[in-house]
Amino acid sequence: MQIPIPNVPQVPLLTTEQIAQFKRDGYLVLPAVLDPERCRQVRDDMWETITAYVPRMQRDDPSTWGPLTEEENKKLGAQLPEIGGEPYFNGKGHRFYIRNGAEQPLLDLAPRAVWQVAEQLLGKGTVVWPEGHDASGFTTGPCFMCDDTVGGLASHLGEAVKKYPEKGSFTTEADFRLPKTGPVWLNGQGTRGLYCTLPNSPAPGPNYQGAHSDGACYGRWRMQIAAYTDDLPANSGGFTVWPGSHARIWPEQWKAFNEGEKHTDKHLKVRKAGGYNDPEILRIKADTEPVDCYGPAGTVVLWHTKILHMAGQNQANDMIRQATIYGYLKTPEALPDELVADNSDGDIWRDWSDEVRQIDEQG
Ligand SMILES: [Fe+2]
């Protein structure tokens, strides 16, 4: 696979101290590293989209930014693209989504600007390039077809899912095609789009019910990013993480997988480590204080894909939490399927760069 050199300004490479911190905590906040002009453009585009879909919300009047009603949710949910995928704009209560993640402005803003850092951490020439969609509105990229992936297809493709496999093969399809508003994070071709939280969102409750670790341990994701396109003060819905949880969830999930448990095993009352109520997750919540990752527009949070996380509560009256999330995939050439579904040596940093592997996380 030919990996192009991104023609957007690059976020500076990380220092040894930053890499050590990332390894230890499982996340790292890089304040205001993205191009302010591109952030502004994405905000302007967001408001244009909001105006088209929910005209009652006015950009200059935060009192109009109330939660989406049932009726609005129903109407938005019915606007399905013909080629498959999710509605371009959808939302429920205090959350709304714009599925523009495979479009060039969002790709240039974040995944491509963080490209040299992604390669620094995961190894040069080993990361899937986010090309985005083609003229027909489809994206093409490698996809590891585990049961979780196939399950994700059903909830994000609408009717079009009938054309896709129903069961996981646990092998990679090299040129897997997905419509641009579909789950384009599965083939590495797009971000999740804009994930937004309206002001005064409800409290997560004492047990942080929504906290989770993304997907399964097996697969091609290693590092993900959350990027903020607007200022995000503290307690305004920032990406919330439990420091160090990556290093606890990783071995527990592999252990469970090796014992025959899949991430999709919903019939098990409690699984071992990945879900909302699994024992390891409960232990982490009991002994670790979560951290709210906030920062000015253009802030990027780098995170190990297994870290326990959730979107925080937006307690602001006049800010919309605006974030896009992208997961970098290891290429099939760099990480063959045998290794995707095997971590027998238990090494959490096995698939990362030599530089990362050599740095001691205790600093
Ligand atoms: Fe998540």
pLDDT, average across residues 271-282? 86
Neighbour count for residue 139 (Cβ, 10 Å): 24
Ligand 1 centroid from CA 309, angstroms: 6
Ligand 1 centroid from CA 112, angstroms: 21
Ligand 1 centroid from CA 61, angstroms: 30
Ligand 1 centroid from CA 215, angstroms: 8
Q: What is the pLDDT of residue 2?
A: 60
pLDDT digits (tens, 9 = 90+) for 191-202: 999 999 999 999
Instruction: Kindly indicate the confidence band of residue 237, based on its pLDDT and cuts at 50, 70 and 90.
Output: very high
User: E strand or H helix at 105, and its extent?
Assistant: helix 104-109
Q: What is the pLDDT of residue 195?
A: 97
Ligand 1 centroid from CA 213, angstroms: 6
Ligand 1 centroid from CA 348, angstroms: 19
Q: What is the pLDDT of residue 363?
A: 62
CATH for the stretch 16-358: 2.60.120.620
The domain limits of the chain are 16-358
Ligand 1 centroid from CA 325, angstroms: 9
Q: What is the pLDDT of residue 71?
A: 98
Residue 325: what residue type? I
Ligand 1 centroid from CA 310, angstroms: 6
Ligand 1 centroid from CA 298, angstroms: 20
Mean pLDDT of the chain: 94
Q: What is the pLDDT of residue 190?
A: 98
Place of tokens 């939280």: 197
In this predicted structure, the answer to whether residue 276 has a pLDDT above a threshold of 90 is no
Ligand 1 centroid from CA 239, angstroms: 9
In this predicted structure, the answer to whether residue 1 has a pLDDT above a threshold of 60 is no
Here the tokens at position 350 are: 């096995």
pLDDT, average across residues 85-95? 97
Q: What is the pLDDT of residue 354?
A: 98
363 within 8 A of 21, measured Cβ to Cβ: yes
pTM, rounded to two decimals: 0.96
